[in-house]
Amino acid sequence: MALVRFMERPIGRVTRGVLGLVLIGIGAGLGSAWWILAAVGLVPLAAGVFNFCLAAPLFHAPMRHAHPTV
């Protein structure tokens, strides 16, 4: 559950985006069949941009964190 709590915070969102960019960079840099890694990198990048966590359902948590309104 600590993973989900980390991922719902802003630093978790940034981490997902950076991980996606790293995977895309490695896949594009190595070329050939490594483009598959670049395609996989789109998932964590999208998760960071659109603020959802694919691992959350594994821990019975919502995919999107509902921010309380003030």
Identify the pLDDT of residue 67: 58
Identify the pLDDT of residue 39: 95
pLDDT digits (tens, 9 = 90+) for 13-70: 899 999 999 999 999 999 899 999 999 999 999 988 988 878 778 877 777 766 555 4
Nearest to 46 by CA among 61, 27, 64: 64
Calpha distance 70→62 (Å, rounded): 21
Q: pTM of the predicted model, to two decimals?
A: 0.77
Nearest to 62 by CA among 21, 70, 54: 54
Identify the pLDDT of residue 70: 47
Indicate the domain borders of the chain: 2-59
Identify the pLDDT of residue 15: 93
Residues 61 and 4: beta-carbon distance below 8 Å: yes
